[in-house]
Amino acid sequence: MSENILLKMNHIRKEFPGVLALKDVSFELKAGEVHALLGENGAGKSTLIKILGGIYSSDAGEIVINGQVATIDKVQDAQTHGISVIHQELVLVPHMTVAENIYLGREPTKRGSRFVDFKKMNRDAKEILDPFNLDFKPTDLVSNLTIAQQQMVEIIKALSFNARILVMDEPTSSLSEKDVDFLFDNIRKLKKANVGIIYISHRMSELMQIADRITVIRDGEYIGTRSSNETNNDELIAMMVGRQLTNYYTRTFGNPQEKVLEVKNLNAGSFLKDISFHLNSGEILGFAGLVGAGRSELMKCIFGIDPITSGEIYVENEMVTIKNPLEATKLGIALVPESRKSEALFPEQSVQYNITIKSLDEFIKGIRVNHSKEGAITREYVEKMDVRTPSFNQLVGKLSGGNQQKVVVGRWLATKPKILIFDEPTRGVDVGAKAEIYSIMNDLVKEGVAIIMISSELPEVINMSDRVVVMSNGRITGCLPREDLTQEKIMHYATQFVFT
Amino acid sequence: MNVAKSKTEKSKVVTFLTHNPLFNFGKENLGILIGLLLLSLILTIFSPVFLSKHNILNVLRQVATNLYIACAMTMVIILGGIDLSVGSTIAMSGVVTGGLIAFDGQSIVVAVLAGLFVGLVVGAFNGFLISRTTIPPFIVTLSTMNIMRGASYVYTGGQPIRVMSDSFNFIGAGYVRGIPVPIIYLVIIVIISVLIMSKSKLGRHIYAVGGNPVAARFSGIKNNRVLFFAYLFSGLMAAVAGIVLASRMFSGQPTAGQGAEMDAIAAVVLGGTSMSGGVGKIGGTVIGALIIGILSNGLNLLGISSFWQYIVKGIVILIAVYVDFLKKRKEGTN
Ligand SMILES: Nc1ncnc2c1ncn2[C@@H]1O[C@H](COP(=O)(O)OP(=O)(O)OP(=O)(O)O)[C@@H](O)[C@H]1O
Ligand SMILES: [Mg+2]
């Protein structure tokens, strides 16, 4: 590796009202290296990146690029310094096409005019999209894409800037294994081209695969930097959480009891075909598959968000028609949605509001609000989920990504559901909190709750599930009992109907 | 985990403070409260009559009708919408009430109920279209605004309908124990609105639907019911304002309430409610309406022409909103 240092961030400090997000963090990046940033939820990773990307300005410290002190006050400054950032929360414009999003703000114009040349734009976009072999077109509306597809658009957009420093804040949190491999191939290509890459992820296995060096920060402080072939998971986790972490997956397998949910021959839209499966109380039923296999779509149908065209749903052996989420909730079904930003959070409202919005019946009667009950519910789930927040009144939009996720999970737990559907429950959550969520899931199934867990993280599916349903292209292609769970078998069924 | 636990002690103090409505009200509206005080101070110095009981009641009476509408408008705007039809609903409910008394010899009770009904119908119509279709609220209420204005001209033939009835006049111009009745309505409406927004489930649902409609749906909230309610309430409040104005002027006038929607929107925005929805408080709107009311009153007292008053009003709104923008930027919300 060349000793050519691209970027240095020295003694960066950043304070938000009531929160010291970064105390004193230093970081350096060499050309052609992948340097990972690791830390718990709220450690300050995204804040550091946002300072580099010109979204926040630091209170102290300096940024040195190619040996020269750089001032980055706005996003354009970062771009002129060759920095391209993929932020944790997607920032695409939903009602624009893929191509329009990629070229937003730098649209190709017709010769000698200021009019956008859409033909050229779509052609150029096709050219950069093609090598990625994606199942969407430059002219597709972003709002019609799945979250993972949107994530790919973000990545491709960032790549298209020909950046010398590329920052990825949890790019894989909504990608499945196959997409991740694919992303890594591209990262390796970029490394060869001497691009420096800052990579943030809570998936430890990924860091070992792709990162050259790993820097750990904790509570806004620099803890240390390790080269990835001289360290291991345990050391990194200890650096991250400040203690040893035992028992990552907590799961006591019991005997699943009676059927609580059964779906028979369900068809919906033009995509979901002939879906049949059942769920028992006291079990975790994993749902695996490639992104776009139709898992989230299926759950939205069951939860009454999207209509079904035919088929039957039974809850506790009674046939039901679920027309909207309220009816689903009344039947004891809860859905922790896939995208916390667009489907779950009220960013301008407090942590308390966000946790209790589904439990209002418990403490509001008419216009009498039982504040102590409200506070007690909030406290219970803030503690249970270990949400790191300066107060219950902090706006949720100001929490770190992982802590936002914990708030969302807490909201649904507070409804005490009988059937709990988790769509990517640990997305963007740090190792410690993941272990916490697993142990909560375990407690819930012990109490007899039935859990469906959609996850793109195979180790999570394999270690937590009693059975795993595999979907591919809108169909169920397999259902594996715990004894048969291996990555290979799951991938075999997951690629059943995919022809590439 | 330990972090959360050590926080609980501290959060007790925080919880106490944040459940103290007065503390919150002051903290959230610090900027415009200072503005309101400064404005009053200046007027007290420059105009000897400003602080007289007569003038204060006068200001409040003017503020009242604007605030009926502005309270409902706050909900509508928090929901990410707008209601442009309130001005012409004022006219329509006024002329219907007046017409029923003057032309048809109906009793005042029947006439007033009919006037309120007009508001409910307009509100229900707006609410239905806005909650069941994807037509933007701006367009829907722009249409009803025109329809209602036209309807009041058609109904009256363009002429005011005179109602020479003392008991009708009492509704908008009477006094109870020295307090003008419109102010009594005002207090009731503000209290109801505050209770809805800060105490009821409906209020929380309004913030949810305004802040993130998709997430609200996932949370089992019936978005269309919430939307329907807000526009219905808005129509009803416009009708109340229309009847009070008609009673005060001894006549139902087809030209009444022109531009009323803009004053209401200005009060809401001055009060810190975001036009993009999801955030806002009735308390802020009350201060906003007071600022607008006191400003016009003060400019009148100082003998400044109404032509200039528009300009001053426009500038004040811009400054207030700009200061709010600066404050938000400093807090680092992107
Ligand atoms: N705009 C803001 N206003 C107030 N506090 C903020 C703001 N943005 C971030 N914070 C706080 O700063 C701290 C660091 O947040 P940051 O988003 O950098 O964490 P992170 O390491 O990226 O976590 P995650 O892994 O959950 O994404 C957190 O305590 C967060 O609550
Ligand atoms: Mg982050």
For the segment B54-112, what is each residue's pLDDT rounded down to a tens digit? 899 989 999 999 999 999 999 999 999 999 999 999 999 999 999 999 988 899 999 99
- Best CA proximity match to B72, nearest among B61, B59, B60, B85: B85
- Going by pLDDT thresholds of 50, 70 and 90, the confidence category of residue B18 is low
What is the b/e burial string over A223-237, where b = at least 16 CB atoms within 10 angstroms of the residue's CB?
Answer: bebbebeebeeeebb
Question: What is the ipTM metric for this complex?
Answer: 0.81
- Best CA proximity match to A390, nearest among A49, A14, A18: A18
Residue A37, strand partner residues: A200, A215
| A and B: number of Cβ contacts within 8 A | 103
Q: What is the DSSP secondary-structure string of A315-341?
A: ETTEEE---SHHHHHHTTEEEE-S-HH
- Best CA proximity match to A398, nearest among B332, B295, B124: B332
* Dihedral in degrees, nearest 10, Cα atoms B83, B308, B183, B156: -60
Going along A347-499, which residue ranges are E strands?
A: 364-365, 368-369, 419-423, 450-454, 467-472, 475-481
Amino acid at B21: P
Q: Is residue A366 less than 8 Å (CB to CB) from chain B?
A: yes
Taking 50 as the pLDDT cut, the residues of chain A under it are 1-2, 500
Residue with CA closest to ligand 1 atom 17: A400
Q: Are strands A213-218 and A34-38 parallel, antiparallel or unpaired?
A: parallel
Interface-testing mutation among B6, B11, B12, B275, with chain A (most A C-beta atoms within 10 A): B11
- Best CA proximity match to B73, nearest among B249, B273, B239, B224: B273
At B334 the pLDDT is 38
Q: Do B76 and B137 contact (CB within 8 A), yes or no? A: yes
Q: Is residue A335 less than 8 Å (CB to CB) from chain B?
A: yes
Q: Considering only alpha carbons, which residue of chain A is nearest residue B3?
A: A388
Q: Is residue A328 less than 8 Å (CB to CB) from chain B?
A: yes
At A476 the pLDDT is 92
- Going by pLDDT thresholds of 50, 70 and 90, the confidence category of residue B175 is very high
Residue A488 neighbours by CB distance under 10 Å: 6
Helix, strand, or coil here: A238? helix
Whole-number Cα distances in Å, A27 to A7, A30, A167: 8, 10, 13
Atom of ligand 1 nearest to the CA of A39: 21
Residues of A in contact with B4 (CB under 8 A): 382-383, 386-388
Which ranges in chain A are annotated with CATH 3.40.50.300?
A: 5-241, 259-494
Residue A132 DSSP label: G
pLDDT at B7 over 60: no
A403 touches ligand 1 (CB under 6 Å) = yes
Helix, strand, or coil here: B159? coil
Atom of ligand 1 nearest to the CA of A170: 27
CATH number of A259-494: 3.40.50.300
Tell me the CB-side half-sphere exposure of residue A326, using CA atoms within 13 A.
Answer: 8
B332 touches ligand 1 (CB under 6 Å) = yes
A401 touches ligand 1 (CB under 6 Å) = yes
Test A342 with B214 for CB contact under 8 angstroms: yes
Helix then strand then coil, % of chain B, to nearest 5: 75, 0, 20
Q: Considering only alpha carbons, which residue of chain B is nearest residue A365?
A: B200
Per CATH, is A5-241 categorized as 3.30.360.10?
no
Q: What rounded mean pLDDT belongs to chain B?
A: 89
B178 touches ligand 1 (CB under 6 Å) = no
Find the B30 Cα to ligand 2 centroid distance in Å: 32
Find the A39 Cα to ligand 2 centroid distance in Å: 9
- Which of A46, A207, A426, A431 to probe ligand 1 with, by most ligand atoms within 8 A of CB? A46
Atom of ligand 1 nearest to the CA of A50: 18
Q: Considering only alpha carbons, which residue of chain B is nearest residue A326?
A: B220
Going along A113-152, which residue ranges are E strands?
A: none
- Which of A47, A341, A389 to probe ligand 1 with, by most ligand atoms within 8 A of CB? A47
pLDDT at B330 over 70: no
Structure tokens at B130: 């806005």
B280 Cβ contact list (under 8 Å, min separation 6) = B74, B77, B78, B268, B271, B272, B273, B274
At B3 the pLDDT is 42
A432 touches ligand 1 (CB under 6 Å) = no
At B4 the pLDDT is 43
pLDDT at B249 over 60: yes
| Structural domains of chain B, ranges and CATH numbers in brackets | 51-333 (1.10.3470)
Q: How many angstroms away from the CA of B269 is the closest CA of chain A?
A: 17
Find the B202 Cα to ligand 2 centroid distance in Å: 33
Nearest-ligand number for the alpha carbon of A47:
1
Q: Considering only alpha carbons, which residue of chain B is nearest residue A369?
A: B199
Q: Is residue A371 less than 8 Å (CB to CB) from chain B?
A: yes
Q: Do A403 and A41 contact (CB within 8 A), yes or no? A: yes
